[in-house]
Amino acid sequence: MSRPARFALSHAHLAIADIPAGAVVVHAANGLGTWGSGVAAALRASFPAAYRVYADFCAAAKVRPDDRWPARDAVAGRCLLIPPQPGDVRRGGPAVTIACVFTSFGYGRPDAGTGKPGRDPAGVILDQTSQALADLRLQLDEAAGTGEPVAVYSPRFNSGAFKVPWERTASLIVDRFDGWDGSWVVFDPPP
C-alpha cells in the first residue's frame, strides 16, 4: 500500500480579482485592525465589507471597550475566516472566503506616543504563524464535509511588511497541511 503524496504548494501569477469563487484567500494580518500595506491593502480595496468584519473582530478583542488595542492573546496566533460578504460580491469581487492569519500582533515600528505595538520579531511571527495555520487547518477540516476539496490561495505572506523569509513560512504551511486533501496556490501578481 502506498503512502499518500506529501502536501505541496503550487505557484501561479494571478491578480486578486482572478481568484476563483469558492476559494479561500489566506493572508497575514496584524491584531490591531489595520490592513494598511501590501496584499492586505489590496484586499481592503477589493473587499471593504470583509475588512469591516476583520476590524470589528479586532475591536471586539479589547479587554475594555475604551482600550486602544485588543488583547494580544485574543488575536495573535489565531485565524479568522471571513465568508464572502454580499456587498463585496455586488461590487464585483470574487465570492471568496478570506482567512486572516494573525502572525504579528503589531506592524511597522512601535509608536511610544500612541502605544502602538510594532511588528513582532521574526521568531515570534513564525511561532504565531504556526499556531494560526493550525487554527486554519482545524477550521477547514471542520468545514470539509460540505463539498469539494478546498482551494487555498495566498501571497508569500509574512515576507513583505513582516520581513520573514518566505521559505520559513512555506515550510510551516507544508508541515501544518501534510496529508490535507485540498490545494494551496501561492500567487504572485501577473508580470
Domain tally, the chain: 1
- What's the per-residue H, E or C state across 144-155? HHHCCCCEEEEC
**Per residue in 64-87, pLDDT tens?**
989 999 999 999 999 999 999 999
Residue 2 has pLDDT above 60, yes or no: no
In a domain, 3, yes or no: no
Q: What's the confidence (pLDDT) of residue 1? A: 47
Q: 103: burial class by Cβ within 10 Å (0-12, 13-18, 19+)?
A: buried
| CATH number of the structural domain spanning residue 32 | 3.40.220.10
In a domain, 2, yes or no: no
In a domain, 183, yes or no: yes
End-to-end Cα spacing for the chain: 43
pTM greater than 0.85: yes
Concatenating the DSSP letter of every residue in 28-97 gives EEETTS---SHHHHHHHHH-HHHHHHHHHHHHHT-SSTT-SS--HHHHTT-EEEEPPPHHHHHTT----E
Q: What's the confidence (pLDDT) of residue 4? A: 52
Q: Which domain holds residue 117?
A: 9-188
Q: Is 127 helix (H, G, I), strand (E, B) or coil?
A: helix
In a domain, 65, yes or no: yes
Contact 61, 133 (CB under 8 A): no
In a domain, 110, yes or no: yes
Q: Name the residue with higher pLDDT: 144 or 166.
A: 166
Average pLDDT over residues 124-145: 93
In a domain, 46, yes or no: yes
In a domain, 4, yes or no: no
Q: 10: burial class by Cβ within 10 Å (0-12, 13-18, 19+)?
A: exposed
Comparing 25-34, 37-46, 141-150, the range with the smallest average pLDDT is: 141-150
In a domain, 1, yes or no: no
